[in-house]
Structure formats: C-alpha cells, structure tokens
Structure 1
Amino acid sequence: MNINQVLENAKHLNINERALVAHCLISSLETRQDEGVEQAWAELAELRYQELVSGKVESVSWDDIKKDVKG
C-alpha cells in the first residue's frame, strides 16, 4: 500500500480512529530516547520541589502567567 492509498483510506475513518492512527504514527517516530533523560528529569523535578519547599523560590499561579503573556 502506498502513502496515497493510506491517506485516502484514512479519510474514511471517524475522528477518533484518525486520532489513534496519528498517535501511532507519531509514537513510531520516537524509537530512541537519549540515555539518562528520565533520570535528568527526575533530578530536575526534585530540585524544583526542594526549591519550593525551602522557600528559595515562590510558585506563580497559572492566571498570573497568562496575564504576563497577554501583556
């Protein structure tokens, strides 16, 4: 089956089925993950958490962030 046939067939799927196909295709591209990424994210999350708990940094509400972005 060539790409044109795949795309034509996809047009006949409902929105949920097309979303699933899109998800599966995108996921198939993510075949390799850098070593240590999970550990690096965990360490960063722990550092940020400790900064919040210690009072070194203060959290900002989502509403405040949206206000800053909108200007």
Structure 2
Amino acid sequence: MSTAFKQVMKNIENLSSDEKALVAHCLISSLEVKHDDSVDQAWGELAQQRFAELESGAERGISWDEIKNRIKQHHA
C-alpha cells in the first residue's frame, strides 16, 4: 500500500460524516474514465419528467425516513 493510502486510512476517523461523503464522491468520480454528455441529458430529462409527475399529482413523494424504513424492512 502506498504512503498516501496509509495516511488517508490513518486520518479517516478524524473526518466528519460530510467530509467522508465528499471523499467517497471524489474517489468514485475519479474512477470515471469517459464523460458521456448523453447520460447527463438523459438524467436531466428523467428529473424533469419526475418533477412534472410530482407537480401534477400523478405521483406522490415520500420522505427520507420512509425510504429508510422500507430499506430496513426489506433487509430484516
């Protein structure tokens, strides 16, 4: 293992949850080799569609607590 890796692992406990999330995001993002604009466009279109469904009442949003509860029930 590299010295940089060992240093990160040694200091990771000192990071806040937000800082750990940012580190994870940066690591995952660094794995992406090629940026595909069509993927961004597709996600944007899906987000607009979902927002329109929520605004029109065709779909109902759920809270983050409800999502966590469903996950817990699924893995129980």
Q: TM-score, normalised by structure 2?
A: 0.59
Aligned Cα root-mean-square deviation (Å): 2.8
Which whole-Å CA distance do the structure 2 matches of 1:70 and 1:60 have between them?
Answer: 15
Q: Which has the larger radius of gyration?
A: 1
Corresponding residue pairs, total: 60
What SS is found at the alignment partner of 2:60? coil
Question: Cα offset for 1:12?
Answer: 4.6
Which whole-Å CA distance do the structure 2 matches of 1:47 and 1:31 have between them?
Answer: 28
Taking a change above 3 Å as real, the CA distance of residues 49 and 26 of structure 1, as seen in their structure-2 partners, is: closer
Structure 1 runs not aligned, ≥5 long: none
Taking a change above 3 Å as real, the CA distance of residues 33 and 67 of structure 1, as seen in their structure-2 partners, is: same
Q: Does 1:15 align with 2:11?
A: yes
What SS is found at the alignment partner of 2:59? coil
Q: TM-score, normalised by structure 1?
A: 0.62
Runs of 4+ in 1 over 3 A off after TM superposition: 23-26
Give percent identity, aligned residues only: 40
**Higher share in helix:** 2
Taking a change above 3 Å as real, the CA distance of residues 53 and 30 of structure 1, as seen in their structure-2 partners, is: same
Which whole-Å CA distance do the structure 2 matches of 1:43 and 1:56 have between them?
Answer: 17
Task: Give the equivalent residue in structure 2 for 1:52.
Answer: 54
